Amino acid sequence: MSQRIALITGATSGIGEATARLLSLNYRLIICGRREERLENLKKELVGEVEVLSFDIRDKESVFNSIASLPVEWQEIDVLINNAGNAHGLDFIHEGNMDDWDAMMDINVKGLLYVSKAIIPQMVERKMGHIVNISSIAGLEVYPKGNVYCASKHAVDALTKGMRMDLNGFGIKVTSIDPGLVETEFSEVRFKGNSEKAKQVYQNYTPLTAKDVAETIEFVLNRPPHVVIGDLLILPTDQASSTIVNKKSE
């Protein structure tokens, strides 16, 4: 049997990039993101067959056109990893930036829906597939100033459960991976490029790495056909909840 095909959104950095590097050993990959140059450079470093799709997940037309443009031999996607997502700002609800709100809802919720809608119908037709939604501990808990970001990830949690119910009769697995603190570009984006402020988020304890989450995704995908990991919370040992982190004295 030929290698399965996995499509990964947000593959230009962080968890998406680490997952692409790991899965390229055993899957034909479709790596997606906005930064085409990064995708092309990543493609050169990966083993096996790789297709690049560059689009903005917020642009519905671009999402559908890009996925529809895949060569016929790449259109039967076996694994969808909805990884693209961002946090923008960390503000009290009454001080929040509405452009930040739009970005989080458009990327984290609507973008996930657009990509899923473009891919799930062929999984239903074939009665096979695995959808992995990368959510967050923020989809399970709410923390101060996390309001809209937490709301977007709670929506991902609800959508994952809804997908699992609606697709139950079609042999399609649906998984949510909910990471805690992972050291990636996440905080730099949240703090609008303030790298010093972003670094402080990960100081005085050992956070997860993107590779830690990628290895978890690989584990989930490798369960036997009769087994699905529905929801998986993964935390650094120093983290107990969204607000409790065991930071050591400097």
User: Which residues are tagged catalytic?
Assistant: 149
- From edge to edge, which strands make up the β-sheet containing 129-134? 50-54, 28-33, 5-8, 79-82, 129-134, 172-179, 231-234
For residues 132 and 219, the answer to whether their CB atoms sit within 8 Å is: no
Q: Is 145 exposed, middle or buried (0-12, 13-18, 19+ CB in 10 A)?
A: middle
For residues 35 and 81, the answer to whether their CB atoms sit within 8 Å is: no
Q: Which residues of 64-85 are buried (b: 16+ CB within 10 A; e: fewer)?
A: eebbeebeeebebbbbbbbbbb
Residues facing 81 on adjacent strands: 8, 132
Give the pairing type, strands 50-54 and 79-82.
unpaired
> How many other C-beta atoms are found inside a 10 Å radius of the C-beta of residue 206?
14
Q: Is 119 exposed, middle or buried (0-12, 13-18, 19+ CB in 10 A)?
A: buried
Question: 209: which 2 tokens?
Answer: 């790495």
Closest CA to 216 of 231, 234, 242: 234
For residues 201 and 188, the answer to whether their CB atoms sit within 8 Å is: no
